[in-house]
Amino acid sequence: MSVARTVLLKVSDNQWLRANGTKLPFVRRAVATFMPGEAFDDMVVAARATAAQGIQAVFTRLGENVTDLAEADAVARHYLDGIDRIRALNLACEPSIKLTQLGLDIDRELAFGHLRELAGRAHAAGSYLWVDMEQSPYVDVTLDLTRRLRQECPSVGVCLQAYLFRTREDLEDMTSRGIGVRLVKGAYNEPAEVAFPKKSDVDANYLALAQVMLGAGARAAGSRAAFGTHDLDLIAAIRRHAESVGVAAAEYEFHMLYGIQKAAQARLARDGAALRVLIAYGEYWFPWYMRRLAERPANVWFVVKSLFG
């Protein structure tokens, strides 16, 4: 892992900066590349614009590691209201949530109660609920709660991270239960005991896992296959593999983040790929933004330029 990535991921965990980083005007200017704004309505404007390009959306209100029950309740209400508003607007835009935002660190059952309510509301709206994946100590609980949820609600998917050694086993378990998977490389600072330290190994594992997702077993179980990546070589390899095994472009999808690889997003949509962009909004964006910088340390240059206006 590069030194710059390690430093940026450590900064993302700094409690003082988490609380105060968003107040720095030059950081606020720079984040606009990845976030249309802090309000739900800003997200809706962006989702409408991408819909006009044939690209659907996923929405997420930024926040994690909530330590106050009332705040977790408010987050759940926000998403319930968001699902209703999206339905009323007839927008193809699915919610994606972090369990620690629903109070997982305080009370697991309370977080599950919120999760179940959100999944039920999304399902009734003809939508789907995506569960994000956080740092490795949260993987077991995230998968346990997703398995429980799947027994009650069919429209649920979870994010899995190709950098973790354990993911192949988790992927086989999730897909065999018909749980959707959004495969990503992984955004956190993980130790070498649990994750591949070398990027080339992560990339190779991603492609191998993608092949499992497009395999007969996962497809027969009805698991939705979403590839969350901006890696254009990987995307091309996945499309080639899908074609070689007779999986049509409409049967799997790519998910990218708002503002990243915009030209490639438009090209893929024109080319018939099923594509969604994840649009993040909200006030608590500092750790999330630091992870975006860590993914491409060259982005720090944009922050520096913003410092000078």
Ligand X SMILES: Cc1cc2nc3c(=O)[nH]c(=O)nc-3n(C[C@H](O)[C@H](O)[C@H](O)COP(=O)(O)OP(=O)(O)OC[C@H]3O[C@@H](n4cnc5c(N)ncnc54)[C@H](O)[C@@H]3O)c2cc1C
Tell me the catalytic residues: 132, 182
Scanning 177-226, the segments in alpha helix (DSSP H) are 199-213, 216-220
Residues that bind ligand X (CB under 6 A): 132-133, 159, 161, 184-188, 228-231, 255-257, 260-261, 278, 292, 295-296, 299
d(CA 257, CA 175): 23
Closest distance to ligand X from the beta carbon of 58 (Å): 6
Q: State how far the Cα of 8 lies from the Cα of 6, in Å rounded to an integer.
A: 6
CB of 175 to ligand X, least distance (A): 17
Determine the distance from the C-alpha atom of residue 258 to the mean position of all C-alpha atoms in its chain, rounded to a whole number: 11
Least CB distance to ligand X at residue 37 (A): 18
Write down the least CB distance from residue 207 to ligand X, Å: 11
DSSP string, 95-135: EEE-GGGGTTTT-HHHHHHHHHHHHHHHHHTT--EEE---S
Phi-psi region at 188: left, alpha or beta (left = phi > 0; alpha = psi -120 to 50): beta
- Rounded to whole angstroms, how far apart are CA atoms 151 and 153? 6
